[in-house]
Structure 1
Amino acid sequence: MIARDEAIAAIVARMDDTDLVLSTTGMISREVFATNDRSGNFYMLGSMGLLSSLGLGLAVLSPQHRIWVLDGDGSALMSLGTLPLIATERPPNFVHIILDNEAYESTGGQPAISASADLAAIGKSCGYRHVDRVASRDELERALDAYPPDAGPRLMLVKAAIAPVEGIPRVSHAPAAIRDRFVAHIRND
C-alpha cells in the first residue's frame, strides 16, 4: 500500500494550472491543502458523499478543464449511484481517484466495507472508460501517465495505508471563501 499523503503529492504533481481539483471531506482535503493550496482546488468540508456528483457537473459544464475528483472510499460508497451516471455521461475530462484505506479515518478509523466491496470492479461494471487499481508509488506513477488528459471518465482506485501524518493543518479557508475563489478561478480561465 502507498501512504495517502505520498499518493496525493504524486497526483497533485501531475496537475496543471487549468485543472480543477475537488477533494473530499476529512484528511484528504487537509492533505491536498497542505500539499498545494491553490484557487483551482475545491475542498469539500462537512458534506461526505457529494463530491463525485459535483465533479460530474463541473466536467459537463467546463469541458476546457480537466476535473480531478479525489474521493475517499467511504465517500465513494455513499454515492454509488453517481458512478453509473458518470460512466453514462462519459465526460472525457473526468478523473475519479478513490483513495481507499478501508476505513473512516477522520472519525476514528472505523472499518469501511471497501475491503469486500471492490470499488474498481464496480467502476468497471458501471462503464468507466478506464479503470486502474494501484497499491504502490510505481503503479500510481504508471497509471497517472497511462492516458491522455481527455481519456475519461477514468477511475483509479488507490489502495492507501492508514498513516496519520503529524501536523497536517485543517483547511483554513472558510467555506464561502473556498467557493468564491474556486468560482473566480473558473471564470478567469
Structure 2
Amino acid sequence: MNKTSDKKRKDALEEIMKSIDDEILIVNIGFPSRELYDIKDRDETFYMIGSMGMVSSIGLGLALTKKDKKIIIIDGDGSFLMNLSSIVTIFSQNPKNLTWIVLNNQSYGSTGNQETYAKNLNLINIAKGVGFKNTYEFEDIDLKEIINKEELSFINYNIKPGNAKASIIPLSPIEIKERFMAKLD
C-alpha cells in the first residue's frame, strides 16, 4: 500500500488550494465541502450537498462542456468507490482539462469514519488499469504543473482519517448553484 501522509483532509485541502487560482472546483459531499468552504470560499467552487459518488460525473460534464476552463474534481475514496464506473467513462471521454484528486483517508469521513475498501486497494493501479497514463501520488508532484497540463490526470492523496471542526455552509443549494453557474459564463 502507499505511504499515508501525516495530514488530515483539511490540511490536504489547504495544500491543494495553494495551487488553485481561477480553476473550477467540484468538491465531494459533507465534510470535504464544509472544510473547503471554511478554508477558502469561492464562487468557482461547487459544493456538493448530497449525491455521494457523483462529484466525478458532474466534473466530467463540466469538463466536456467548458473546454476552455480547467476543472478540478476533489473526491473522497468512499465516493470514488461508490461510483467506480465513472473512472471508465472519464477515461473514455478523455477530457484534457480535467484533474481528478482523490483524498484517500480509507474511510467514510462524513458518516463516522467507517473504513472503506480503499484500505485494500491501490487507487493508482485502478486508474492505470483502466488506461490513465497520467497518474500521480500527491506527495510526488507539483500540483500547479499537473493542472496546467493539457492532459487528463488522476491524483491519489493518501491522508489520515478525521474531520476538522467545520460549520455548515450558510448557502442554500440554490444559492450555491446560481453563483457557481454565473462563474461558468
TM-score of the aligned structures, taking structure 1 as reference length: 0.90
Letter matched to residue 8 of structure 1: L
Q: Structure 2: give runs of 5+ residues left out of the alignment.
A: none
The residue aligned with 1:8 is 13
Given that 2:109 and 2:162 are in contact with CA atoms closer than 8 Å, whether structure 1 keeps it comes out as no
**Within-5 A mapping of 1:31-50:** 31-50=35-54
Deviation digits for residues 16-41 of structure 1, max 9, x if unmatched?
Answer: 12x10000111111111111111100
Q: Structure 1: give runs of 5+ residues left out of the alignment.
A: none
Letter matched to residue 131 of structure 1: T
Given that 1:95 and 1:154 are in contact with CA atoms closer than 8 Å, whether structure 2 keeps it comes out as yes
Whole-angstrom distance in 1 between the partners of 2:148 and 2:133:
13
Whole-angstrom distance in 2 between the partners of 1:123 and 1:67:
18
Instruction: Name the CA shift for 1:144/1:110 in 2 (closer, same or farther; >3 Å).
Output: same
Instruction: Name the CA shift for 1:119/1:76 in 2 (closer, same or farther; >3 Å).
Output: same
Whole-angstrom distance in 2 between the partners of 1:145 and 1:173:
29
Alignment root-mean-square deviation, CA: 1.4
Whole-angstrom distance in 2 between the partners of 1:66 and 1:129:
18
SS where residue 125 of structure 1 aligns?
A: helix
- Number of residue pairs aligned between Structure 1 and Structure 2: 180
Does residue 150 of structure 1 match 2:142? Answer: no
Deviation digits for residues 149-172 of structure 1, max 9, x if unmatched?
Answer: 134311111011113323x11211
- CA displacement at 1:148 relative to structure 2: 5.6
Given that 1:132 and 1:143 are in contact with CA atoms closer than 8 Å, whether structure 2 keeps it comes out as no
Deviating above 4 A after TM superposition, structure 1's stretches of 4 or more consecutive aligned residues are: none
Whole-angstrom distance in 1 between the partners of 2:17 and 2:144:
13
- 81, 104, 108: which one pairs with 2:108? 104
Given that 2:25 and 2:73 are in contact with CA atoms closer than 8 Å, whether structure 1 keeps it comes out as yes
Whole-angstrom distance in 2 between the partners of 1:107 and 1:115:
17
Instruction: Name the CA shift for 1:40/1:148 in 2 (closer, same or farther; >3 Å).
Output: closer
Given that 1:3 and 1:160 are in contact with CA atoms closer than 8 Å, whether structure 2 keeps it comes out as yes
Does residue 177 of structure 1 match 2:175? Answer: yes
**Within-5 A mapping of 1:72-111:** 72-111=76-115
Whole-angstrom distance in 2 between the partners of 1:164 and 1:62:
32
- CA displacement at 1:87 relative to structure 2: 1.0
Given that 1:129 and 1:151 are in contact with CA atoms closer than 8 Å, whether structure 2 keeps it comes out as no
Instruction: Name the CA shift for 1:93/1:78 in 2 (closer, same or farther; >3 Å).
Output: same
SS where residue 20 of structure 2 aligns?
A: coil
- CA displacement at 1:90 relative to structure 2: 1.0
Whole-angstrom distance in 2 between the partners of 1:124 and 1:95:
15
Instruction: Name the CA shift for 1:148/1:25 in 2 (closer, same or farther; >3 Å).
Output: closer
Given that 2:70 and 2:147 are in contact with CA atoms closer than 8 Å, whether structure 1 keeps it comes out as no
TM-score of the aligned structures, taking structure 2 as reference length: 0.92
